[in-house]
Amino acid sequence: MVNQMNNNGENGEYICSVEAAINEIGGKWKSLVLCSLKDGKLRFNEVNKKLPEITQRMLTKTLRELEKDKIINRKVYAEVPPKVEYSLTPKGKSVLPILDSLCEWGKKYCEYNEV
């Protein structure tokens, strides 16, 4: 068992550390949003253009969750119209090697299954 804070700020136990990792970056969109930010800062619409299948509502929800978990930064500029940029935190950057490995595995999976 691995002790870790859960999303409610309470101490929780995970069966293994993979469960803790999936809790942070799991789901359909989180890893894709992180990949879209790996080359630097992006505004909301720029992230949305990189992920055309995601709805604005789901992108907003995903960005808020990643910000709450300190995986991305949200910087608001005091100007009109408001300008907001998203970027990876050091915690978010630490996930990139894992996502790169997952990407390589996915390529091989697609080759094996002729997808």
Tell me, yes or no, whether 10 lies in a domain: no
Does 38 score more than 90 pLDDT? yes
Q: Does 4 map to a domain?
A: no
- Tell me which of 10-14, 24-28, 42-46, 105-109 is least confident: 10-14
Residue 12 lies in a domain: no
102 in a structural domain:
yes
Question: Mean of the pLDDT values across residues 38-53?
Answer: 96
**Residue 74 is which amino acid?**
R
**Residue 96 belongs to some domain of the structure:** yes
Q: What are 54-75's pLDDT values in tens digits?
A: 999 999 999 999 999 999 999 9
Average pLDDT, the chain: 88
Instruction: Report the domain count for the chain.
Output: 1
pLDDT confidence of residue 95:
94
Which residue's structure tokens are 């080759």?
111
Q: In terms of C-beta distances under 8 Å and separation of at least 24 residues, what long-range contacts does 14-23 make, across chains too?
A: 21/98
Could you tell me if residue 81 is inside a domain? yes
| Predicted local distance difference test score (pLDDT) of residue 3 | 59
Kindly state the greatest CA–CA separation across the chain: 51
List the CATH number of the domain containing 61: 1.10.10.10
**Domain range enclosing 67:** 29-112
